[in-house]
Amino acid sequence: MLTLASQSPRRADLLRGAGIPFRVVAPPEDEALPAQAASFPALVKALALRKARAVAARTRGLVLGADTIVVCKGRILGKPRSRAEARDMLRFLSGKRHAVYTGVALVSGRRCLGGCERTEVTFRTLSDADLRRYLATGEPMDKAGAYAIQGEGAALVSAVRGCYTNVIGLPVPRVLAMLAEFGAAPG
């Protein structure tokens, strides 16, 4: 059985929806970015691998780690630490196109496989009323980039180019392909 190295309810929902049996083992709460990374894809792959390896050291079998970042104009937008920071992020994204990168890693013993998915998202221009309304939902607080495309945050988005589930936090088609390559495809 697959072990998901994440406490994200969205990732769990996506795996369930894809018919992938799994259990959850939380990785250590280390959200620090690596000191160096050659690129955004390398960064998220390193973060995903760190999570997967940390859980694989405590459990048996195949472990899936994932990490998602939002990047706009070269700036990484992680999870906001306050409502004010969420408002600033959303204001920064307003009317712009940004990229969502999710790194995924599968680890079993010494064998590992990693990948990265990139999706482009365009926000419509947001008014102050739009920002107040969305912030009042509380939805932005535990999401990279301060929005949830699968929730009320969908109203902020004017276009998506690429893998939609990647924006939610797990590129399901890529994960299925990686599981098949690992010889662990579901069903």
Q: How far is residue 83's CA from residue 136's CA, in Å, rounded to a whole number?
A: 9
What does the pLDDT look like over 92-105, one tens digit per residue? 999 999 999 999 99
At 66, which helix (H) or strand (E)? Answer: strand 63-72
pLDDT band at 40 (very low <50, low <70, confident <90, very high): very high
Q: How far is residue 154's CA from residue 127's CA, in Å, rounded to a whole number?
A: 15
Provide the percentage of residues in the chain whose pLDDT is more than 70: 95
Structure tokens at 89: 């992020």
Q: What's residue 32's pLDDT?
A: 62
- Is residue 128 annotated as part of the catalytic site, yes or no? no
Cα–Cα distance list, 119 to 52, 77, 101 (Å) = 22, 15, 7
Q: Could you give all domains of the chain from N- to C-terminal order, each with its CATH number?
A: 2-181 (3.90.950.10)
What does the pLDDT look like over 117-129, one tens digit per residue? 999 999 999 999 9
Catalytic-labelled residue, pool 13, 30, 67, 130? 67
> What's the chain's average pLDDT?
93
What does the pLDDT look like over 51-85, one tens digit per residue? 999 999 999 999 999 999 999 999 999 899 999 99
C-alpha 105: how far from its chain's center? 12
0.75 cut: is pTM over it? yes
Can you say whether residue 56 is alpha, beta or left, with left for phi > 0 and alpha for psi between -120 and 50 degrees?
A: alpha
